[in-house]
Amino acid sequence: MELDKMDENDWKYHGEGNKSLVVSHLQHCQVLRLLKFPSEDSAHTRQTAEQAFRHILNIVDYSKYVMKPLLGEKYVHSGEVVKLPLDFVRQLSLKVQQERPELRCDKVMDTFSGCGLCLPNLTQLPLHHLRDHRPPICVEIKPKCGFLPFSRHITKECKRKVCRFCMHQHYKLANGKWKRLSRYCPLDLFSGSKQRMYVALKNLLEEPQNNLKIFKGGELIFSCKDDAKQQPDLNDLVQHLRPYFPHSNGLYNGHQPGKAVLNEFIQVICSALLSGGDSNRSGESRKVHLSESRPLCEASPFPRDLLRNGNQGLPKDSVLAKILQVQMLDNLDIEGIYPLYKRVEQYLEEFPKERNRLQIDGPYNESFMDTVKNCPVEDDGSVEYAVGKVHQYRVAMTAKDCSIMITFAPCEEDEEHQLNLEKPRLTYSISILDLDPKPYEGIPHQHKLDTKIVNYYLRSTQAPPPSSLYKERQECTLLFHAV
């Protein structure tokens, strides 16, 4: 990329999340990730160019020295920090504004620092794979937390039975983030059971929210609609996918042929998610089992009578196993972490200069990683133990909020990395993205949010019969429809 010749006309809007906006290059397989900040922030509270540069460098270092060693070299692309001409960034910001979904416009793109992150465009496959006229399909899944907490610090029994995602759905519906409950349950996706994974992926297709996006040739073709009342069009998706699964068009005796296409599509995603496991001498893939956490969420729609085989485990090197193992570094739960956070805070009040030595805000280097890996198991009352657990918790939080991108395209027989499917022959690549550090200061918010989610879930699912509920309902109305 020639930084002095940057032209906004070479780039187009690609997507965004809560913290960053992404543009993709029209010709090259590259994206630029630019930070966003709340639009109401006044000029003097914004980061200086130097702070913004440091911030993005921290993101790259965290990905490179912390998340990559934990998740695996092959899945993580850390990218590089780039200094962009301010004029280019301003023009780009104007250009993409009309493409942005309304629900993300509470934040504005950073047009002041001139710093960005350059990454490979993971919705595409490197050109040498493209010997076919059909462009690559990319499935982006934000799987969220795949286990039930097992910490002895948990005070609400329901947290041991119902997963955070399923509980959070009720809270999100109540405060208007989504219009319909998602039936997706992360524990089904992370189960390693093909049946349960199938159901999880089917439920994602029916209600994608911000957990599923599909791209074709780098263009978004399926996601939640900006108008959350509208459901995404599965028939439209089937039309896009049909050329990739030609033999399924004749299945089901011509009845519901779309169902056969979606069925095959889901199986391809499942195979990719389970791929990458190595083999032991008996030729069987080694599996990761979740011995400590109960493998089933009581709110999952998966039929209980089909659960005979229990938890089958994930192949050791699969992308799901890698993410789950990092998520499970959170073994104390926010209820166990919050008192340790307060211990650190108290210590820093007394010894503010220790903040650097304890690497509270980075740098995210090998020494930070050592603290994460070598944190003592037992609490000896020290600030070192508290910091180690807080670091581990933050790393786990990143893994609970990351996304998986599976990009596949039809291929010739001799190509590497083929999916182990009889038909069709697909070449694929899997990556993990959005591996930013979660701020230390966010812990009190996490603690409050946890309490709100659990309390709201208990109130909405264990409510007494309607006759005795009149007063409480009025309170709910006042709470969620403020005038």
Ligand X SMILES: O=P(O)(O)O[C@@H]1[C@@H](OP(=O)(O)O)[C@H](OP(=O)(O)O)[C@H](O)[C@H](OP(=O)(O)O)[C@H]1OP(=O)(O)O
Ligand Y SMILES: Nc1ncnc2c1ncn2[C@@H]1O[C@H](COP(=O)(O)OP(=O)(O)OP(=O)(O)O)[C@@H](O)[C@H]1O
Report the DSSP pairing between strands 107-109 and 20-25: unpaired
The type of residue at 133 is H
- R_g over Cα of the chain: 23
DSSP at 99: T
Binding segment toward ligand X, per CB under 6 A, in 12-20, 58-66, 94-102, 278-286: 12-20
Q: Taking CB under 6 A as the criterion, which residues in 28-57 touch ligand Y? A: 31, 33
Q: Are 188 and 176 in contact (CB under 8 A)?
A: no
Size of the site for ligand X (CB under 6 A): 9
Question: Under the criterion CB under 6 A, does residue 397 sit at the interface with ligand X?
Answer: yes
Q: Which residue is nearest to ligand Y (CB)?
A: 17
Taking CB atoms, the residue at the shortest distance from ligand X is 18
Euclidean distance between CA atoms 225 and 234, whole angstroms? 12
Residue 22 in contact with ligand Y, rule: CB under 6 A:
yes
Mask of contacts with ligand Y, 124-143, x by CB under 6 A? ----------------x---
When the beta carbons of 38 and 442 are compared against ligand X, the nearer one is: 442
Q: What does 140 bind: ligand Y, ligand X, none (CB cut-off 5 to 8 Å by kind)?
A: ligand Y
Closest CA to 332 of 388, 383, 382, 370: 388
* Residues between 194 and 213 with contacts to ligand Y, criterion CB under 6 A: 213
Tokens 């630029």 identify what position?
A: 32
Among the residue ranges 14-22, 223-231, 296-304, 460-468, the one whose residues contact ligand X (CB under 6 A) = 14-22
**Binds ligand Y by CB under 6 A, chosen from 122, 224, 260, 396:** 122
| Residue 61 contact among ligand Y, ligand X, none, beta carbon within 5 to 8 Å by kind | none
Q: Which of 16, 264, 333, 401 binds ligand X (CB under 6 A)?
A: 401
How far is Cα 362 from Cα 374, in angstroms, rounded to an integer?
17
Q: How far is the CB of 17 from ligand Y (least distance, A)?
A: 2
Stretch that binds ligand Y, among 86-94, 121-129, 144-152, 463-471 (CB under 6 A): 121-129
340 contact, one of ligand X, ligand Y, none, CB 5-8 Å limit per kind: none
Is the C-alpha dihedral spanning 346, 351, 357, 359 positive or negative? positive
Instruction: Give the span between the Cα atoms of 203 and 195, in whole angstroms.
Output: 13
C-alpha–C-alpha distance, residues 395 and 440, integer Å: 11
Q: Which among 14-22, 83-91, 354-362, 364-372 is the span making contact with ligand Y, rule CB under 6 A?
A: 14-22
Residue 193 as a binder of ligand Y (CB under 6 A): the answer is no
Options 15-23, 65-73, 126-134, 458-466: segment touching ligand Y (CB under 6 A): 15-23
Q: How far is the CB of 144 from ligand X (least distance, A)?
A: 6
Q: Which residue bears the tokens 């001799």?
A: 414
Choices 11-19, 40-48, 107-115, 301-309; region in contact with ligand X by CB under 6 A: 11-19
Cβ neighbours, 10 Å, residue 223: 18
Q: Are 39 and 107 in contact (CB under 8 A)?
A: yes
321 touches ligand Y by CB under 6 A: no
DSSP 48: P
Q: Is 123 in the site for ligand Y (CB under 6 A)?
A: yes
Long-range contacts of range 129-135, CB-CB < 8 Å, 24 or more positions apart? 129/409, 129/411, 129/415, 129/427, 130/409, 131/411, 131/412, 132/409, 132/410, 132/411, 134/243, 134/244, 134/409, 134/410, 135/216, 135/217, 135/218, 135/409
DSSP bridge pairs for 439: none
Residue from 16, 207, 264, 335 that binds ligand Y (CB under 6 A)?
16
Candidates 101, 126, 442, 444; binder of ligand X (CB under 6 A) is 442
213 binds, among ligand Y, ligand X, none (CB under 5 to 8 A by kind): ligand Y
Please report, as residue ranges, which positions from 163 to 222 form the binding site for ligand X (by CB under 6 A).
168, 210
| Residue among 3, 7, 19, 51 that touches ligand Y (CB under 6 A) | 19
The dihedrals phi and psi of 107, each to the nearest 5 degrees, come to: -125, 155
Burial class (CB in 10 A: 0-12, 13-18, 19+), 474: exposed
Strands (E), 340-402: none
* Among the listed residues 399, 298, 377, the one whose alpha carbon sits nearest the alpha carbon of residue 332: 377
The listed partner (ligand X, ligand Y, none) that binds 397, CB under 5 to 8 Å by sort, is: ligand X
Distance in angstroms (rounded) separating the CA atoms of residues 454 and 102: 29
Question: Least Å distance between CB 45 and ligand Y?
Answer: 20
Binding site for ligand Y (CB under 6 A): 14-20, 22, 31, 33, 119-123, 140, 213, 401, 403, 433-434, 436
Binding site for ligand X (CB under 6 A): 17-19, 168, 210, 397, 401, 438, 442
